[in-house]
């Protein structure tokens, strides 16, 4: 049986190199890229990579090496020694190596680097001879003891870098050395002696003089750090799953600390903040890698390199830029490199995809694909195809272009007082208010007033105040709670489920971690991260929104807008499914259309019931004793609803509009407070007792599973009658207007669980629609379909498709029922579920493809067995989540629908899914 | 193309007869049985049956005959006339027929019978000549006008039998006739003239003199009555679905009103009330069928027939008994027959399966299969096999043997004041109380006190009062609400969701339909029908329960118990799956075992938390600030829980016991009233604010979809730890007792939606269990499994079965989530859904095989793909519903589990499913 390969060689030559950049999963990012550079004949110091699979073995066995690994490591070490002509620990000609961790994904929190491994009391002498520099030799040794003690032994013994630093400072003081470089070889030798004592004091063992033992302990330290709390935490926060472990890279040392012709640095092929295409970087002369990071000396800018005293640097600079350009082109992504110059010779120690902001990401993508600087118009090499540019982007990148964001530096300085779920994007700054009415009043009084609405949760009654506020912060509710859904629909900042808020509505205060914030105190929300800050953090507005939504001519000239436009154009050219929007008003519809929406996938009618005096008509309906009285109440709503639909149809001229019939339970329309109930009784001229009794009657134990959706229209068919009249009435009216509008209404019946429900209501809808059409004499084509949001509907989709002309997957409710999770209550256990990795992510944010997705696929398949041309879409919140959109493309949906501000993101995701095939 | 056959002939000879009893769906029950009797050469007057498909055509087209039907009817009428040698409407030799409806299922509410059709002013003379009796001729004619006017024309014109009756009384008075039979031919002729005027007055047309028109109108009347409100209502109440329509039987008339050698009657082969095997029946001499029903004259008992003056009756009696015995043997079911004797010759007009009580059903089944009278020991013919006997029974039959029931006659006289869902079986009579505490107090004071607990809904706090009460009546909640589930578990009478109750807890009154009932007023509940009566209705106790549960020796001699035992034995001999029980206490476990339970399928642990002082420990747990304090609180519960399990394991010695870990949300354990919260604060020594805040924190919008089930143990693993210690601790203790108990514990983790949840808890369970086993040194085998009650669990059952050793389908929750119906809120729309036929039945009562059942089948299939020997059961309320049990057998489950008192019913259903194959 073939042995499992755990240890890989790289460097010296392409032939000897055993890996490449496709092997990140088992070599880690660092190891794979080192191999890739070696394959490209770039100057990489040769080395060995122990695979992530070896780490997995080590973790699983509680600290044992795979037996094959030990054998293979010996062989590869031998190969390295032979090729380098040196030997680990050799007193004459020692090989020194660095040991570096490297998982498939860059991941802080793990053990990073040990340099100069292989130095011992004996080998240091040989090393001195090798490099011809006594000072360098002892400097390397003392650095090694420091790093080894801190990084390898520290976690078990409490030994830290600080313990050594103290001694360094002492000796510098003793010999009046200003800089570390001022210490002589002799003094450094003395320091080595001191360091070894420091080591022995904490570790209770002498500093190991066997390089193989040094290596063994270092490898174990790297493997062990994979499971450290910090590393676990990082993976959890960053949703990094499914990795085997970390690889260990054992790299031949090169030395930047060999005098004026040596040095070390980091560089980026492009700016990760602004996205500017000019290479940038920093370096230190006569230093080893950790000095740059440690900030002991101020590093110099890459641009200064050609002007250094030693002439070698000019060539190093030219070589480095050439290599960086080659790497960027090779990886088709801006690179972040580490390099070391040893006596005038450049070595590449690492390359990886550079980190960046969303803006930089978009700029890189469009500039690398067009070969044009979007700010200056200058040309640059075309590195990417259009498709590659799109694939390099994420939804979050685009999001940063669409919403106001905090000034990055100001935010870093801000004080995070609590955090919640990032429910609505962008940043918001305002004075705290606790009541929707207060928010409205404040803005009514002074249009420039900025408030943030802070509540336990919001209800449809609060929409006015939510609109007036800069942002919304709630203590309960999840990503699809009322506050979240409404805010996202508006592109408004919202943080939900910040459980640590203790709100006192009476006192108008909120207590967070013991500190009391009063109404009027400033607060800042980052809706993209969920962080809440005390005070005001400056924000920047989005030129894209100014250009797209407000139509500002100046904003249309902004390069950011132009880049957005470029990405959108490419997205549309590549995607295969439509993107619609969830919008309930003409205003939202217009905004969505300007963001590229190709129709409305979900027009909720319930929000219309709250505007102005309409709520009184629906309350009259609720109190009515018989159908006659109910019809009379609904008659008052009819003309309002029709007017709403007219506006929406006009805004969506030529595009389909899916209108969902009334969905929420009736109790959402009645007031809960005694005072408001008294007002209701007075206004509707009924005894208070009647109101309170009816409110009590409407109470449900589990309203989500109660009398709502199609169930309402089955018990009160007059509701369905009125809404159909309003929809088709509006359609006919705008269709026969002077400037005729092309209307494509799709009437959607919610919460269907059985075919019989749909049949019952479809009959009513068709009867009413035909009557209106006959009366107005305008031929309007319309579809009747249903939401698939009840598991049973997906399971019986073949039956339901006999009646339904389209399906729209309501994945919010489908997720609720498939998991049995109330989206309003999930906050009590979701954090534990994410902590314990029981769920990979919030299923209301990212569609659960295994369970819920299975029902979606089943629904599409069964539905199309009955009706091959069945139009299928998704209108849950997942319609705006890139991963979920990609799933929708695979599942064969015809469109996704999302809130207006997420339309560009969905267009990108749809394009990416199509490109990926 | 072959014509569709709509019209069938029967009678004269086997060769001419075109149908048989297998064709009920299209000939109706009556038509099919007439054909069957004709095939058996029984004396059946020949006739024609128009099929139910013709009715369906008529209904669908809004009142048109299928064209083929009209043609075929003409042909068949001709055949009838030729064979009878008579002709419809012929003035010399007229053929008279009756027209009778007959659907596949016997169904009151439709047009029933028109006799003597074919009589006109002319043909009556020929008929007189034929029968040689002028009086008979005119008597038939006046009866025909009456029936035709009332039954055929009445629905359109308002003409009723009463309109004619008035005239009959008038003429009797005029001629001083005491009985109808005292009227002379001349007087009857006069009456015919009067009747025709009565007819013309209301109908505005003369009485039709064309027999074909008479026939046409009658057929239309029968077809039309199929869709009448009464008939629709009947079908709905009796859950009769899927029928095409009614057939129409056109039968050659025979005449029981031809003097002393003629007569008519009905008879039963066995007693439908007591089940006694002696034939019984009633007849009238010189009368037509409707006279028996109308009760004008007192009919005579069948036993008197041989003693009639005319000697022909002796032979008729012998012939009739022979025919009845033949029919019972042929149909393998007691028969209900109609017969007419025309001048000494016996004709069979109808036979059908007789109606019966549950007791009679059981007695028939066991006596017909054993050939033994269970009361007298006398022998009788063996007509059924054991399997046939079982198949003749229903769960409701057995139920009537198990629960106290009302005296039938007293109940008929009782006043139904409202109705709800029949949630717990049997009958209950008691004084109204509104608080559980009041119920307990009343019974504590006087053990013989009988109370009925009337509430909006019940909660776990109320169980003491529910136990003390005779029955429970609630205004909200469905078949699986708390009240329903608990009551059924005890075999206690319960009616839920009686929406018209207006309870005033303060005043201690309940208002029903405007009438106020006070605390202490008597009320009677029929838990098998849902009817609520004012006052006291006498009840009978069940000897089966006395024998089985109380072990009374005298009851064991009761024939009813013996019959129960016989059915149970046969059931066990035939069934292929196990029947377990849902029981939470040693007492329930014992009762269930004596009813034949083969283990516990669901032992809920939450009820144990309410007993005595335990609630304070769980409340302490809920208030605890950290895990240490939570563990301390749970430690107090441990010994109690362990003790409970010891008792249950002992009761179930040798049988498996599935224990479900804590399931309900924590808010169920904290009080809601201010007063109780104050008590809680005081008792636990914390500020009231802490209690109220925690209660508020525990509030959920949709608790059914909230923090419960396995989610609790994932956030509070110490709960799972404690419960495992209690279960395995108890198992080890009883296993190593002096008299060792064989324990087979199965630990069931509820509400699993993902494999990761199960893995997390399974690890804890196994670790704790092994620790207890190691500590006690007793080897106890246990299983760890899960409920499949979340749709996602069924969808990913293959993954879950990697960890789960058994599945138990929790079809209550699975139904809730698959449909999106809250079982506590379904009452608001379920009645409309049943009315509109959107649901065939309450899915919480009868498993929805299409949707929910699909998930069950998927779960079993996927689960066994991973683990072929996976044990699968069902522990939802459906486990006691016969139809659902049959589904479970088909789905391949290993067992069903139901409440103790439903175990015998489930055993029967399981046997029936096995027999049906």
Q: What is the pLDDT of residue A296?
A: 62
Catalytic residue of the set B251, B603, B732, B875: B875
- Residue-wise pLDDT for A561-586, tens only, equals 999 999 999 999 999 999 999 999 99
Residues in chain A: 917
Residue A426 has pLDDT above 90, yes or no: no
Q: Are A752 and B828 in contact (CB under 8 A)?
A: no
Cα–Cα distance between B267 and B280 in angstroms, integer?
6
Which residues in B600-741 belong to E strands, given as ranges?
600-604, 656-660
List all residues 6 or more positions away from A692 whose beta carbon is below 8 Å from its beta carbon: A677
Q: What is the pLDDT of residue B110?
A: 66
Q: Residue B790 and residue A818: Cβ atoms within 8 Å?
A: yes
Query: DSSP of B679-709, one letter per residue?
Result: HHHHHHT--HHHHHHHHHHH--SSGGGSS-T
Catalytic residue of the set B317, B482, B667, B878: B482
- Cα distances (angstroms) measured from residue A308 to each of A261, A267, A302, A316: 10, 17, 11, 11
Cα–Cα distance between A225 and A208 in angstroms, integer?
21
Q: How many CB pairs under 8 A join A and B?
A: 171
Please name the helix (run of DSSP H) or strand (run of DSSP E) that holds residue A570, with its range, or none: helix A559-574
Q: How many CB atoms lie within 10 A of CB B854?
A: 19
Going by C-alpha positions, the residue among A130, A300, A119, A309 that lies closest to residue A215 is: A119
Ordered alpha helix ranges (H), B494-612:
543-548, 553-556, 559-574, 586-594
Going by C-alpha positions, the residue among B352, B400, B326, B425 that lies closest to residue B567 is: B400
Q: What is the pLDDT of residue B108?
A: 62
Residue A166 has pLDDT above 70, yes or no: yes
Q: How many CB atoms lie within 10 A of CB B11?
A: 24
- Residue-wise pLDDT for A330-386, tens only, equals 999 999 999 999 989 999 998 988 888 888 999 999 999 999 999 999 999 999 999
Q: What are phi and psi of A431, to 5 degrees?
A: -85, 140
Q: Does B821 touch chain A if contact means CB atoms closer than 8 Å? A: yes
Q: Burial level of A625, CB count in 10 A (0-12/13-18/19+)?
A: exposed
Please state whether beta strands A744-749 and A656-660 pair in parallel, antiparallel, or not at all (unpaired): parallel
Is A658 annotated to bind ligand?
no
Cα–Cα distance between A351 and A331 in angstroms, integer?
10
Q: Residue B848 and residue A792: Cβ atoms within 8 Å?
A: yes
Q: Which two tokens stand for residue B776?
A: 């006690």
CATH 3.40.50.150 fits B254-356, yes or no: no
Going by C-alpha positions, the residue among A812, A871, A867 that lies closest to residue A843 is: A812
Q: Burial level of A643, CB count in 10 A (0-12/13-18/19+)?
A: middle
Cα–Cα distance between A48 and A12 in angstroms, integer?
11
Contacts of B796 in chain A (CB under 8 A): 850-851, 854
Residue A238 has pLDDT above 70, yes or no: no
Q: How far is A428 from chain B (nearest CA, A)?
A: 28
Cα–Cα distance between B596 and B608 in angstroms, integer?
24
Cα–Cα distance between A496 and A514 in angstroms, integer?
20
Which residues in A578-678 belong to E strands, given as ranges?
578-582, 600-604, 656-660
Of A757, A821, A854, the CB nearest to B795: A854
Residues in chain B: 917
Domain spans of chain A, in order of start: 7-253, 254-356, 404-541, 575-665+700-916
Q: What are phi and psi of B522, to 5 degrees?
A: -80, 145
List all residues 6 or more positions away from B59 whose beta carbon is below 8 Å from its beta carbon: B223, B226, B227, B245
Poorest-pLDDT segment among A432-436, A715-719, B288-292, B498-502: B288-292
Q: Does A25 touch chain B if contact means CB atoms closer than 8 Å? A: no
Known catalytic residue: B330? no
CA B37 to chain centre: 30
List all residues 6 or more positions away from B750 whose beta carbon is below 8 Å from its beta carbon: B660, B661, B663, B709, B710, B786, B787, B789, B810
Q: Does A821 touch chain B if contact means CB atoms closer than 8 Å? A: yes
Of A754, A760, A819, the CB nearest to B753: A819
Q: Are B247 and B49 in contact (CB under 8 A)?
A: yes
Q: How far is A837 from chain B (nearest CA, A)?
A: 8
Residue A110 has pLDDT above 70, yes or no: no
Q: CA-based Rg of chain B, rounded to a whole angstrom?
A: 33
Q: What is the pLDDT of residue A293?
A: 58
Q: Are B622 and B666 in contact (CB under 8 A)?
A: yes
What percent of chain A is predicted at pLDDT more than 70? Answer: 98
Q: Residue B818 and residue A701: Cβ atoms within 8 Å?
A: no
pLDDT < 70 regions, chain B: 1-2, 108-111, 237-239, 290-296, 480, 489
Q: Does A813 touch chain B if contact means CB atoms closer than 8 Å? A: yes
Cα–Cα distance between B715 and B698 in angstroms, integer?
14
Rounded-to-5 percentages of helix, strand, coil across chain A: 50, 15, 35
DSSP B51: -
Residue of A820, A822, A843 to mutate for B, most B C-beta atoms under 10 A: A820
Q: Are B35 and B24 in contact (CB under 8 A)?
A: no
Computed over every residue of chain A, the mean pLDDT equals 92
Please state whether beta strands B783-788 and B744-749 pair in parallel, antiparallel, or not at all (unpaired): parallel
CA B902 to chain centre: 14
Poorest-pLDDT segment among A129-133, A196-200, B13-17, B545-549: A129-133
List all residues 6 or more positions away from B420 whose beta carbon is below 8 Å from its beta carbon: B473, B474, B475, B495, B496, B497, B498, B499, B530, B532
Q: What is the pLDDT of residue B514?
A: 87
CATH class of A7-253: alpha beta
Q: Which two tokens stand for residue B18?
A: 């075109």
Q: Are A698 and A622 in contact (CB under 8 A)?
A: yes
Q: What SS3 class is residue B385?
A: coil
Q: Residue A714 and residue B828: Cβ atoms within 8 Å?
A: no
Q: Are B199 and B164 in contact (CB under 8 A)?
A: no
Q: Are A729 and A737 in contact (CB under 8 A)?
A: no
Q: Which two tokens stand for residue B665?
A: 């949300």
DSSP B10: E
Cα–Cα distance between A208 and B360 in angstroms, integer?
95
Cα–Cα distance between B741 and B736 in angstroms, integer?
8
Which residues are registered as beta bridge partners of B602? B582
The mean pLDDT of A746-775, rounded to a whole number, is: 97
Going by C-alpha positions, the residue among A61, A67, A84 that lies closest to residue A9 is: A84
Q: What are phi and psi of B506, to 5 degrees?
A: -65, -50
Which residue of chain A comes nearest to B858, CA vs CA?
A795
Cα–Cα distance between B518 and B434 in angstroms, integer?
10
Q: Which two tokens stand for residue A632?
A: 């009379």
Q: Does B854 touch chain A if contact means CB atoms closer than 8 Å? A: yes
Q: Residue B791 and residue A817: Cβ atoms within 8 Å?
A: yes
Rounded-to-5 percentages of helix, strand, coil across chain B: 50, 15, 35
List all residues 6 or more positions away from A440 whose beta carbon is below 8 Å from its beta carbon: A464, A465, A468
Order of all β-strands in the sheet with B97-103: B7-10, B47-50, B246-252, B97-103, B113-117
Q: What is the pLDDT of residue A356?
A: 83
The CATH label, of 1.10.10.60, 2.60.120.280, 3.30.470.10, 3.50.30.10, for the domain at A404-541 is: 3.50.30.10
The reply to whether ipTM tops 0.95 is: no
Q: Are A567 and A626 in contact (CB under 8 A)?
A: no
Q: How far is B190 from chain A (nearest CA, A)?
A: 52
Q: What is the pTM of this model?
A: 0.82
The mean pLDDT of A513-532, rounded to a whole number, is: 92
Cα–Cα distance between A776 and B197 in angstroms, integer?
52
Q: Are A902 and A597 in contact (CB under 8 A)?
A: no
- Cα distances (angstroms) measured from residue A579 to each of A402, A599, A875, A912: 17, 8, 10, 13
Q: What are phi and psi of B73, to 5 degrees?
A: -60, -45
Q: CA-based Rg of chain A, rounded to a whole angstrom?
A: 33
Please state whether beta strands A871-874 and A895-898 pair in parallel, antiparallel, or not at all (unpaired): parallel
CATH homologous superfamily of domain A575-665+700-916? Phosphoenolpyruvate-binding domains (3.20.20.60)
Q: How many CB atoms lie within 10 A of CB A153?
A: 20
């Amino acid at each position: 049986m073939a042995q499992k390969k755990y240890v890989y060689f790289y460097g010296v030559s392409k032939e000897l190199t055993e890996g490449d950049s496709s092997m990140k999963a088992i070599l880690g990012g660092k190891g794979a890229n080192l191999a890739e550079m070696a394959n490209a004949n770039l100057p990489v110091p040769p080395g060995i990579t122990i695979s992530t699979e070896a780490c997995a073995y080590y973790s699983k066995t509680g600290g044992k090496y795979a037996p094959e690994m030990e054998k293979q490591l010996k062989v590869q070490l031998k190969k390295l020694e032979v090729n380098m002509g040196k030997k680990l620990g050799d007193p004459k000609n020692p090989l020194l190596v660095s040991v570096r961790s490297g998982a498939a994904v860059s991941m802080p929190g793990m053990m990073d680097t040990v340099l100069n491994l292989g130095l011992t009391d004996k080998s240091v002498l040989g090393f001195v001879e090798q490099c011809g520099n006594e000072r360098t030799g002892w400097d390397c040794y003392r650095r090694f003891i420091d790093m080894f003690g801190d990084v390898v032994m520290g976690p078990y013994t409490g030994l830290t870098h600080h313990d050594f630093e103290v001694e360094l400072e002492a000796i510098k003081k003793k010999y009046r050395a200003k800089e570390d470089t001022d210490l002589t070889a002799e003094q450094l030798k003395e320091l080595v002696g001191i360091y070894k004592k420091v080591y022995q004091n904490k570790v209770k063992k002498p500093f190991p003089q066997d390089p193989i033992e040094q290596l063994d302990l270092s490898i174990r330290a790297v493997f062990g750090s994979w499971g450290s709390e910090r590393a676990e935490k990082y993976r959890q926060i960053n949703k990094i799953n499914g990795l085997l472990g970390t690889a260990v890279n054992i790299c031949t040392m090169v030395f930047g600390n060999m005098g004026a012709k040596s040095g070390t640095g980091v560089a980026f092929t492009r700016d990760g903040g602004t996205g500017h295409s000019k290479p940038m970087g920093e370096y230190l002369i006569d230093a080893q890698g950790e000095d740059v990071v440690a900030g002991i000396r101020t590093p110099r800018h890459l641009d200064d390199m050609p002007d250094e005293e030693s002439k070698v640097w000019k060539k190093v600079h030219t070589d480095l830029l050439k290599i960086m350009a080659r790497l960027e082109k090779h990886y088709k992504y801006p690179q972040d490199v580490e390099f070391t110059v040893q006596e005038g010779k450049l070595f590449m120690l690492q390359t990886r995809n550079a980190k960046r902001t969303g803006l930089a990401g978009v700029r890189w993508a469009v500039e690398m694909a067009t070969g044009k600087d979007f700010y200056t118009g200058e040309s640059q090499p075309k590195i990417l195809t259009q498709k590659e540019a799109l694939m390099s982007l994420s939804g979050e990148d685009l999001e940063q272009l669409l919403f106001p964001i905090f000034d990055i530096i100001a935010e870093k300085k801000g004080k995070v007082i609590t955090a919640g779920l990032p429910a609505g994007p962008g940043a918001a700054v305002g004075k705290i208010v606790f009541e929707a009415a207060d928010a409205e009043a404040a803005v009514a009084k002074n249009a420039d007033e900025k408030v943030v609405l802070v509540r336990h949760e919001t209800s449809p009654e609060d929409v006015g105040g939510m609109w007036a506020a800069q942002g919304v912060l709630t203590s309960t509710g999840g990503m699809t709670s009322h506050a979240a859904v409404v805010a996202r629909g508006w592109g408004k900042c919202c943080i939900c489920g910040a459980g640590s808020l203790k709100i006192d509505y009476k006192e108008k205060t909120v207590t967070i971690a013991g500190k009391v914030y009063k109404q009027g105190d400033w607060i800042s929300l980052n809706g993209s991260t969920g962080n809440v800050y005390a005070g005001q953090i400056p924000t920047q507005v989005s030129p894209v929104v100014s250009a797209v939504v407000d139509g500002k001519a100046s904003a249309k000239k902004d390069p950011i807008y132009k880049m957005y436009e470029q990405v959108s154009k490419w997205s549309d050219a590549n995607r295969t499914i439509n993107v619609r929007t969830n919008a309930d008003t003409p205003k939202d519809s217009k905004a969505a259309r300007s963001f590229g929406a190709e129709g409305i996938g979900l027009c909720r009618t319930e929000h219309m019931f709250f505007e102005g005096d309409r709520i009184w008509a629906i309350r009259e309906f609720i109190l009515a004793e018989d159908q006659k009285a109910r019809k009379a109440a609904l008659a008052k709503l009819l003309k309002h609803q029709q007017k709403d639909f007219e506006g929406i149809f006009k805004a969506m001229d030529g595009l389909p509009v899916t209108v969902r019939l009334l969905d929420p339970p009736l109790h959402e329309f009645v007031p809960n407070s005694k005072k408001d109930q008294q007002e209701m009784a007075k206004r509707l001229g009924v005894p208070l007792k009647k109101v309170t009794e009816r409110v009590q009657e409407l109470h449900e134990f589990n309203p989500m599973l109660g009398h709502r959706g199609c169930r309402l229209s089955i018990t009160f068919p007059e509701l369905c009658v009125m809404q159909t009249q309003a929809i088709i009435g509006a359609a006919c009216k705008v269709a026969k207007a002077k400037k005729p509008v092309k209307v494509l209404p799709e009437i959607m019946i919610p919460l269907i669980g059985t075919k019989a429900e749909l049949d019952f209501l479809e009959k009513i809808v068709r009867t009413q629609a035909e009557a209106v059409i006959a009366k107005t004499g305008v031929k309007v084509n319309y579809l009747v379909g249903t939401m698939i949001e009840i598991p049973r509907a997906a399971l019986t989709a073949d039956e339901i498709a006999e009646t339904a002309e389209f399906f729209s997957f309501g994945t919010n409710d489908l997720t609720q029922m498939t998991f049995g999770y109330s989206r309003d209550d999930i906050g009590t256990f979701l954090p534990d579920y994410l902590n314990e990795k029981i769920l990979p992510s919030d299923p209301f944010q990212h569609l659960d493809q295994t369970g819920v997705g299975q029902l979606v696929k089943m629904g599409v398949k069964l539905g199309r067995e009955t009706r091959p041309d069945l139009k299928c879409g998704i209108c849950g919140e997942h319609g705006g989540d890139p991963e979920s959109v990609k799933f929708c493309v695979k599942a064969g949906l015809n469109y996704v629908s999302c809130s207006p501000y997420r339309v560009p993101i969905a267009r990108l995701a749809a394009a990416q899914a199509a490109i990926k095939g």
